[in-house]
Amino acid sequence: MVPTPPQDKDFPWWLVIIAMTGLYLFWQVLSAETYALVLRTLAKGIWITVMVTIVAYSLACLLGLGLALAQLSGSLILRQAARLYVEVMRGIPIIVLLLYVAFVLAPATVEALNWVLAKLGRDPILSRDFPLLWRAVIALTLAYASFLSEIFRAGLLSVDKGQIEAGEALGLNRWHRFRFIVFPQAFKVILPPLGNDFVAMVKDSSLVSVLGVSDITQLGKVTAAGNFRYLETYNVVALIYLTITIGLSLFLRNIEQRLRQRTER
């Protein structure tokens, strides 16, 4: 039986304080014309932030899982290639990677693809001017995949080898052992850090503003430059991000507690 952490028994006074403060701030925002105008403007960027986060994180999870499996594979080439990718990507700041992907890697890839198509006698299918939004998504995917791969790898290694051998003795093939034995147990281990990285992705998605993508941060910069209300504008920007990240944290914590309760049963 897994013991319940002491903090789970505490009354969430911190949540009460945050909720009351948030309601008061939203009331101030909606009741003041300047704040309300800023909020209406920034609200247009919320769906961009949410879309970038969900798409980039989903792709990063798939790539990260593939990298983790490659690092644990029996092939030396796959292990070394995956390790090389992880170490290189973890060593580059995300903002630098965003700029590199947007203005170097993406155009070069499109140019190379179109050159190959030209050699095959086919028309180009991509333009070098494809949207900066998708260049930002690619950059965040490449960056976060390296971090998520380490989370997946640690979770997969946490599964007892005896259970894997038992599944092999029952005649389960490699895919079935992974699907029914390894991954369900590893998921309980990797869920908390995956949740933390998802929240971090929401905040790091603000970096796409350096490419001019109209997310919350970019609209905040443009709005503040136009109305010179820097205090009011960035207060609203911070409030929106706090609402999203705290809401996600509470949702993920609820999922963790439900999984823990099932384990205790």
The first and second tokens of residue 189, run together, are 């281990």
At residue 201, φ and ψ (nearest 5 deg) are -65, -40
In angstroms, the CA 164 to CA 11 distance is 40
Instruction: Let me know: does 236 contact 230? Beta carbons within 8 Å.
Output: no
Task: Say if 202 falls within a structural domain.
Answer: yes
Same domain, 70 and 33: no
- pLDDT of res. 17: 86
- 98: pLDDT strictly greater than 90: yes
pLDDT of 204 > 90? The answer is yes
Question: In terms of residue numbers, what domain contains 122?
Answer: 50-154+190-212
Q: What is the CATH number of the domain that holds 82?
A: 1.10.3720.10
pLDDT single digits (tens) 47-67: 999 999 999 999 999 999 999
Total domains, the chain: 2
Residue 7, pLDDT above cutoff 70? no
Q: Do 222 and 113 sit in the same domain of this protein? A: no
For residues 144 and 201, the answer to whether their CB atoms sit within 8 Å is yes
Provide the angle, in degrees to the nearest 10, between the axes of the packed helices 33-42 and 13-31.
100
Co-location of 20 and 128 in the same domain: no
The whole-number average pLDDT for the span 175-204 is: 87
Q: Quick one: 34 and 136 in the same domain?
A: no
pLDDT band (50, 70, 90) for residue 264:
low
What mean pLDDT value characterizes the chain? Answer: 86
| Residue 1, pLDDT score | 47
Judgement on whether residues 115 and 220 belong to the same structural domain of the protein: no
Angle in degrees, 0-180, between the axes of helices 230-264 and 183-204, rounded to the nearest 10: 170
Residue 129 and residue 221 share a domain: no
Give the per-residue pLDDT at 185.
Answer: 83
- Statement to judge: residues 68 and 84 lie in one domain: yes
Residue positions counted in the chain: 265
In this predicted structure, the answer to whether residue 30 has a pLDDT above a threshold of 90 is: no
Quick one: pLDDT at residue 255?
84
Q: What is the largest CA-CA distance in the chain?
A: 70
Sign of CA dihedral 215, 254, 69, 91: positive
79 and 122 inside one domain: yes
pLDDT over 70 at 127, yes or no: no
Mean pLDDT of 80-97: 94
Statement to judge: residues 136 and 102 lie in one domain: yes
The percentage of residues in the chain with a pLDDT greater than 90, rounded to a whole number, is 42
Q: Tokens in use for 187?
A: 């998921």
pTM score, whole prediction: 0.86
